[in-house]
Amino acid sequence: MSAGPSAAVDPQSLSPRRTAPDPTSSRPLAYGPPVDVHDLPTPALVVDGAALEHNVRTMAAGRPGRTLRPHVKAFKSTGLARYVESTGGHRSFCAATLRELEGLAAAGIGDDLLLANETLDTDRLARLVGTADATVTVAVDSAETVRVAADAGASVLVDVDVGLPRCGCAPEAAGALAELARSLGVEVRGVMGYEGHVVGRTDRAERARGVERSTALLRRAHESVGGDVVSAGGTGTWDLHDSSTEVQAGSYLLMDTHYAALGLPFREALEVEATVVSSSADRGWAVLDAGLKSFGMDHGDPTVPGWRVFFCSDEHTTIVPAEGGAPLPRVGARVRMRPAHVDPTVAYHERLVVLDGDQVVEMWPVDLRNW
C-alpha cells in the first residue's frame, strides 16, 4: 500500500474481487462491459475514481490499519467497502444500522465489525454474532442495551455523551454500565464518543478545541470502563485525535460541499449526472432531471458549478445564470450536480458508478440501504 495521492486511477484496484458475486445485491445491474458516462440513464450517482483513490490513500497514510474504522453509513455499499479494505488496508469497520453490518458480514468484509449505534433487536444481533466471520461489537448506553448485547453474545463499547445531545450515557455513568455488562459475561472492549457537534465547524482551531473538550470527557469515562478501545471522531476531526485509539470516518471517501468547506485534504469525489430536460432560456431558466429524490436536503440545495440553483422539486432542479457564469445549457446537455450532504444523498440511489474520466470502470450497488 503506497502512501499519498496517486494521479490516475488504476481500474484494476477498483475491482479487487470483481469475479465474486455480491450476495447482498438483489437487483442485477443492467450494464455489462464498460460504457461511457453519457450512455447512463440520469440521474446517475457518479464517483471520480481518481479522487476516491486519493482519499483512500491519504487517509490510510495518516491513519493506517486499525487506527481508522471506516464508517459504512456514508456509502452503504459492500463494493466500496471492499475497495477501502483492499486499497486502504483497513479491516475494522463500523456501521449505523444492522442492515449495513449484516451486509458487510455476508460479504466477508472486515474482521472487526462495530454497530456504532444502540439496538434493541436481540434476534438480529444474535444472528449476526452467530454467522459473522468477524468480531461483532455494539455500542451500549443503557441497562436495556447492555442486556440486548448480553443476550445476543456481542461485545460492547460503552457509548459516552461527549457533548452531542444524542446517544451516549453521561460520562459518570459509564463505569456502572461496564460493570453491569461484565457481570452478565459481556466483553467490554472500551468506550466510544462522537463529537458530532464539533466535526462540521469550519474553523480548524475551533474543531481542535472541541475535540480537546470531548476527549477529556471520553478519557474520564475510559478510566472507569477499561478496555483497549477509545473510538471517536469523524471526517472533520480525523487528524485531531491523538488520544483515541481509532477514528470513525466515512464521509472522507466521497465528500460533499459541506465538508469541502473545512479545508481537509480529501477531494469531492461524488456528483450526480443529470440531463437538461427543459430550457426556457428566453425566460431565464433551465431544468435538470434530478431533484429532491436525488439529494439529501438537510444541508441545503445541491450545487451546480457554473450556474445558480433556483429551487429543487421532486425530480427537477431549476437553474438560472450565475453572475459571470456560463449561458444556460441546452435541452439534452449533461450537467453535474454536487450534494450538500453525502450520506442521505447516497441513500436515495441504487448504485455508485465509478468513472475514469468519462469511462465507467465499476458499478457498485448501494446494497446496504434500508433497515
Residues that bind its own copies (CB under 8 A): 26-27, 41-44, 73, 96-98, 117-121, 124, 141-142, 144-145, 161, 165-170, 196, 275, 277-280, 282-285, 287, 289, 292-293, 296-298, 310-316, 318, 331-332, 341, 343-344, 347-350, 369-371
Short-list 177, 175, 144, 174, CA closest to 162: 174
* Four-CA torsion 77, 81, 83, 89, nearest 10 degrees: 170
- Nearest distance from C-beta of residue 183 to its own copies, angstroms: 19
| Nearer CB in complex with its own copies: 82/316 | 316
Q: What is the CA radius of gyration of the chain?
A: 21
Identify any residues that bridge with 12 across adjacent strands, giving them in sequence order.
Answer: none
| Nearer CB in complex with its own copies: 41/324 | 41
Pairing of strands 44-48, 270-280: antiparallel
Short-list 146, 149, 141, CA closest to 173: 141
| Nearer CB in complex with its own copies: 43/110 | 43
Q: Which amino acid is at 280?
A: S
- Nearest distance from C-beta of residue 227 to its own copies, angstroms: 20
Identify any residues that bridge with 159 across adjacent strands, giving them in sequence order.
Answer: 192
| Nearer CB in complex with its own copies: 3/333 | 333
Which residue's entry shows cell 457554473?
A: 306
- Nearest distance from C-beta of residue 125 to its own copies, angstroms: 12
| Nearer CB in complex with its own copies: 41/185 | 41
| Nearer CB in complex with its own copies: 61/347 | 347
Instruction: Tell me the C-alpha distance between 16 and 26, whole Å.
Output: 20
- Nearest distance from C-beta of residue 335 to its own copies, angstroms: 13
- Nearest distance from C-beta of residue 43 to its own copies, angstroms: 6
Cα four-point dihedral sign 207, 209, 211, 214? negative
Q: Which amino acid is at 23?
A: P
| Nearer CB in complex with its own copies: 54/76 | 76
- Nearest distance from C-beta of residue 161 to its own copies, angstroms: 7
| Nearer CB in complex with its own copies: 111/118 | 118
- Nearest distance from C-beta of residue 105 to its own copies, angstroms: 17
Which residue's entry shows cell 427543459?
A: 278
Instruction: Tell me the C-alpha distance between 170 and 167, whole Å.
Output: 10
Residue 312: other Cβ atoms inside 10 A: 21
- Nearest distance from C-beta of residue 11 to its own copies, angstroms: 25
Instruction: Tell me the C-alpha distance between 334 and 329, whole Å.
Output: 8
Instruction: Tell me the C-alpha distance between 236 and 105, whole Å.
Output: 27
Please provide the distance, in angstroms rounded to a whole number, between the alpha carbons at the two ends of the chain: 34
